[in-house]
């Protein structure tokens, strides 16, 4: 009888670099601003590669964003449905917005967005994850927060206009959002990454082990 073969175990190579994104700044021979808008602009950089060749790179210059997965005591997430003209869709999303003030504390921005878009405040804040949503085409950096201990915000609702005046509001069970996302029924990246990150964090060290709300953010340093 042939002895059963031991399964092969795949191990990372000992010389693999540390699994961490690292700062890098390749030389830029020339830079041009092609368009300047209200909040963003389009830039072309002529970047010198390590072998000496030069390539043009076009990208959107963006101030950065914050988003909030607001989770209540019944395991429901605060979501909104908003019209997004570039994709011609009304998308279910979590509250989110731009870092309007350079150097602004992202927690303060997230608290503001949760109030303005959902009229909700939270007692407990954690950093859920940080990301570059499309690093080949924009320098936008995003911090997604987890907010718990929810209650109605004080005072009147924030006055909104344009697309925001037509938003729908709901609280949807986390598990339902995960299912709809994996089925391709929901496509907003902040919502998808946020609810999946909550699910993964729970299966690991738990939500209380997430980074504190004031954790450093090298992509958008703040005071």
The torsion of the CA quartet 196, 198, 202, 204, rounded to 10 degrees, works out to 70
Q: Is 164 a catalytic residue?
A: yes
Bridge partner residues of 151 (DSSP): 121
- What token pair was written down for 174? 């986390």
**Could you give the angle at which helices 189-203 and 174-182 cross, rounded to 10 degrees?**
120
How far apart, in whole angstroms, are the C-alpha atoms of residue 53 and residue 49? 5
Q: Which of 117, 164, 176, 185 is catalytic?
A: 164
How far apart, in whole angstroms, are the C-alpha atoms of residue 41 and residue 193? 26
Residue 25: helix, strand or coil by DSSP? coil
List the catalytic residues.
164
């Amino acid at each position: 009888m042939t002895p059963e073969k031991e399964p092969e175990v795949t191990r990372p190579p000992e010389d693999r670099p540390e699994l961490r994104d690292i700062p890098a700044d390749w030389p830029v021979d020339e830079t041009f601003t092609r368009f300047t808008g209200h909040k963003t602009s389009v830039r072309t950089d002529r970047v010198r590669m390590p072998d000496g060749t030069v390539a043009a790179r076009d990208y959107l210059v963006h101030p950065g964003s914050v988003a909030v997965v607001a989770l209540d005591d019944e395991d429901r997430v605060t979501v909104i449905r908003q019209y997004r003209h570039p994709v011609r869709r009304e998308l279910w999303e979590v509250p989110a917005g731009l870092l309007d003030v350079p150097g602004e504390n992202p927690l303060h921005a997230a608290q503001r967005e949760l109030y303005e878009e959902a009229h909700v405040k939270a007692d407990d804040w954690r950093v859920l994850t940080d990301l570059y949503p499309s690093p080949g085409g924009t320098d936008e950096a995003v911090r997604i927060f987890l907010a718990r201990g929810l209650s109605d915000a004080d005072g009147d609702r924030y006055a909104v206009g344009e697309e925001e005046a037509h938003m729908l509001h709901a609280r949807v069970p986390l598990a339902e959002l995960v299912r709809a996302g994996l089925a391709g029924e929901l496509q907003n990246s902040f919502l998808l990454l946020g609810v999946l990150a909550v699910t993964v964090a729970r299966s690991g060290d738990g939500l209380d082990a997430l980074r504190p709300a004031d954790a450093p953010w090298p992509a958008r340093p703040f005071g």
